[in-house]
């Protein structure tokens, strides 16, 4: 009977851990605030380093991610629609307390911030799987060495929340040694 009780308690714990995230759309997970965050390092996100271009939100998108340095990976995003820049974003994936968090700051085409001066949008890591990073409201999926899909939930002005997909191809890699001594400059 004692073994049966322990087995039941173990199953309850497993079910409780499995419910630490809620699937809000086919590719997006949402974090349960009362649950611990998964352990991860920037090595789990190293595959996103490089220059990526593709389609999303009815336009052309570009992401550029630099290699990890001092517990941070810095990236940029730009959206081009009908031959015009629509918006930019600067992103930082940071390794904090043995897990990852992505912070994003958005700007209009003329660099007016969407968020307030000190504000940013935070995507906390929910789950790490093979070739996948699940952040709260954003999922990055590696498809081979040169393709990536990003899924994000967006709340539109009408109050409708929709999953959006960005499909990228890798244009190239960046220097994997981010130390200041690795940068070569030519001056006259």
CATH of 17-173, one of 3.40.50.9100, 2.130.10.30, 2.40.128.20, 2.102.10.10: 2.40.128.20
Three-state secondary-structure class, residue 19: coil
Contact 107, 88 (CB under 8 A): yes
Q: What is the pLDDT of residue 188?
A: 35
134 vs 7, residue with greater confidence = 134
Name the DSSP class of 113: B
Q: What is the pLDDT of residue 24?
A: 80
Q: Residue ranges of the domains in the chain?
A: 17-173
Closest to 53 in 3D by CA, of 183, 166, 188: 166
φ, ψ of residue 43 in degrees (nearest 5):
-60, -30
C-alpha distances out from residue 104 to 115, 134, 179, 184, Å: 10, 15, 23, 29
Is residue 46's pLDDT more than 90?
A: yes
Average confidence (pLDDT) over 28-32: 88
Average confidence (pLDDT) over 60-85: 94
pTM comes to 0.81
Distance separating alpha carbons of residues 56 and 81, to the nearest angstrom: 10
Contact 130, 113 (CB under 8 A): no
Contacts (Cβ under 8 Å, ≥6 apart) of 24 = 30, 137, 153, 161
Contact 117, 17 (CB under 8 A): no
């Amino acid at each position: 009977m004692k073994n049966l009780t322990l087995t039941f308690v173990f199953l309850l714990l497993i079910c409780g851990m499995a419910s630490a995230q809620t699937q809000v759309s086919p590719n997006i997970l949402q974090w349960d605030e009362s649950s611990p965050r998964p352990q991860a390092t920037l090595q789990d996100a190293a595959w996103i380093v490089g220059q990526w271009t593709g389609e999303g939100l009815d336009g052309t998108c570009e992401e550029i991610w630099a290699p990890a340095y001092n517990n941070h990976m810095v990236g940029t995003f730009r959206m081009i629609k009908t031959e015009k820049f629509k918006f930019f974003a600067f992103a930082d994936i940071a390794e904090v307390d043995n897990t990852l968090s992505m912070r994003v700051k958005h700007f209009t085409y003329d660099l007016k911030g969407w968020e307030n001066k000190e504000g940013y949008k935070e995507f906390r890591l929910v789950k790490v799987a093979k070739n996948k990073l699940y952040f709260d409201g954003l999922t990055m999926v590696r498809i081979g060495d040169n393709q990536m899909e990003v899924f994000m939930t967006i709340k539109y002005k009408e109050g409708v929340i929709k999953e959006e997909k960005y499909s990228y191809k890798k244009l190239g890699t960046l220097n994997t040694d981010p130390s200041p001594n690795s940068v070569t400059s030519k001056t006259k």
